[in-house]
Amino acid sequence: MFEKHTDTASLKIVEQSAMNAITIDCAIFGFDNGILEVLLVQHAEGISKGKWGLPGGWIKKKESIDNAAHRLLGELTGLDNIFLEQLKAFGDPDRFPLRRVITIGYYALIKREDYDVKAGFTASDAKWYKINEIPDLIYDHNEILDYSLKQLRNRVRQAPIGFNLLPGKFTLLELMHLYEEVLGVAMDKSNFRRKILHMKLLLALDEKQQDVSHRAAKLYKFDPEIYTKLTEKGFNFEF
Amino acid sequence: MFEKHTDTASLKIVEQSAMNAITIDCAIFGFDNGILEVLLVQHAEGISKGKWGLPGGWIKKKESIDNAAHRLLGELTGLDNIFLEQLKAFGDPDRFPLRRVITIGYYALIKREDYDVKAGFTASDAKWYKINEIPDLIYDHNEILDYSLKQLRNRVRQAPIGFNLLPGKFTLLELMHLYEEVLGVAMDKSNFRRKILHMKLLLALDEKQQDVSHRAAKLYKFDPEIYTKLTEKGFNFEF
DNA sequence: ATACTTGTGGTCAAATTTACTATAAGCATA
DNA sequence: TATGCTTATAGTAAATTTGACCACAAGTAT
């Protein structure tokens, strides 16, 4: 289970089977209604009781740090095969108030439609926050989150990881809005359409939007085969 | 002092004042005569005696990991203010043979003209290796080095960090050769010249090459002021 | 004086980007 | 059913950038 960050309590939680000076903290991004959000969890006890932070936890002695991150992520969201990348290690000597703990930051992208808060986490435990309405977080979690966002903005321009935030089928305009929101820029829909279609990374489906009060747009899906072919040759996702 | 990697010996080296399950390993790149090289150090004792690896060391209890990396780098090369960036943490459970140790990878770029192997490191202790002539390294250091190289190739296209490998004054062709070597591509000197000058990132000096047996090229230097201005606006260093 | 090497300044066609305009398709309302 | 509203989709023309060249300049070496 992802630890609900605690202070003194967390010290007791470290079992024999876990590394005791290294944690994992993860910024989980979701995209809902055109808005980029991040999943935060609330401290249950300790000196930071009531404060919010990134979900995190300990690394077991026998698992790799990537595995630990995937395990923790699965325990919190119930999701497997989530897009997850390591950011870097954060190691200020007094980032953690009680003793020296280095944390390894990760960021994850999930499809909100698949997500469901798991048992053990009530609505008051875990909550989505808009990325420009982030409160004061515990420890150095604001710094980690800022870095995550920076990294997300960089990576999204290098590789088509943005798809991990969208449902399986999406319209070109939804995709464009995602890029606009993540990168914080305005785009021209006509030019975006031309550019993205020209990459041949999308598969046009024989399906259209439903229940919209205007002309329905064609739905597309992302073609992972073509993607891997393109990444081998190296390509650029600038907009 | 950067540890000359040892196995059993290194365990004793960890003093009270250092974290005992986290190390730092650093890929130090240099550019000499048109060739990209990396600085490796040799094991003095232990089960990997004679094998080469990345220089590394322990993190003191009271220093940040960035500071630790800078300190270690200074101890080995005698250089301050070196360009240094964290890569990420490497944490396979059995990457280190004797117990669980997570390492934080860094990469650094240094100007070979400034570099001098420090006392305590003889020629047989530390040596520059061409990046396509890397031997089998200890532990997971080949993986770390591969990742460094990948990161260097990525970063060099995003930001003008390549300058950290060149002397203070350089010709446009030297700069181009650096990019050709790092990225492994061939470029057109005329087009390169046009593109790089168009960025207005270089300051033309009133000086020319000396002692060359052909027409001397104009020397340029990198203008950090213009660079910071440009980075704020965001720019692209693709070639 | 001549050949040789590298530096520097161009050209031109192709490709891409940017800023628009125009039309199509569907829904909502009068 | 006609009219307008909204979004989807297609196109166009100018500006910019790229890629593949060529030509001459400025030095060295013979």
A193 Cβ nearer than 7 Å to chain D strand: yes
Of A64, A66, A89, the CB nearest to B104: A89
Residue B7 has pLDDT above 80, yes or no: no
User: Which residues span the domain enclosing B170?
Assistant: 161-233
Percent of chain B with pLDDT over 90: 63
Residues of B in contact with A151 (CB under 8 A): none
pLDDT at A44: 72
Pick the residue of B59, B102, B150, B153 with the most A CBs within 10 A to test the interface with A by mutation.
Answer: B102
A104 and A30 fall within a common domain: yes
Range B50-53, long-range pairs (CB < 8 A, 24+ positions): B51/B135, B51/B136, B51/B137, B51/B138, B52/B127, B52/B129, B52/B135, B52/B137, B52/B138, B53/B5, B53/B25, B53/B137, B53/B138, B53/B139, B53/B141
As beta bridge partners, residue A35 has A32
B142 and B166 fall within a common domain: no
B26 reaches A (C-beta below 8 A): no
* Residue with more model confidence, A78 or B136: B136
B79 reaches A (C-beta below 8 A): no
pLDDT digit string (tens) for B90-149? 999 999 988 999 999 999 999 988 887 664 565 568 899 999 999 999 999 999 999 999
Three-state DSSP state, B83: strand
Task: Kindly report the average pLDDT of chain A as a whole number.
Answer: 87
Stated pTM of the model: 0.91
* Residue with more model confidence, B95 or B43: B95
Pick the residue of B16, B19, B103 with the most A CBs within 10 A to test the interface with A by mutation.
Answer: B19
pLDDT digit string (tens) for A51-60? 999 999 999 9
Q: Do A65 and B91 touch (CB under 8 A)?
A: yes
B182 and B151 fall within a common domain: no
Region B161-165: what's the mean pLDDT? 93
* Residue with more model confidence, B2 or B34: B34
Q: Domain tally for chain A?
A: 2
A149 and A175 fall within a common domain: no
Q: Residue B190 maps to which CATH number?
A: 1.10.10.10
CA of A88 vs chain B CAs: smallest distance (Å) = 4
The answer to whether residue A1 is domain-embedded is no
**Which residues lie near nucleic chain C, judged by CB under 7 A?**
A 188, 190-191, 194-195, 208, 212-216, 238; B 171-173, 189-191, 193-194, 214-218
The answer to whether residue B3 is domain-embedded is no
- Which of the listed residues A111, A127, A155 is the one where a domain comes to its end? A155
The answer to whether residue A239 is domain-embedded is no
Q: Residue A124 maps to which CATH number?
A: 3.90.79.10
pLDDT at B230: 75
Residues of A in contact with B63 (CB under 8 A): 93
Residue B12 has pLDDT above 80, yes or no: no
* Residue with more model confidence, A235 or B15: A235
The answer to whether residue B2 is domain-embedded is no
Of B61, B86, B154, the CB nearest to A100: B61
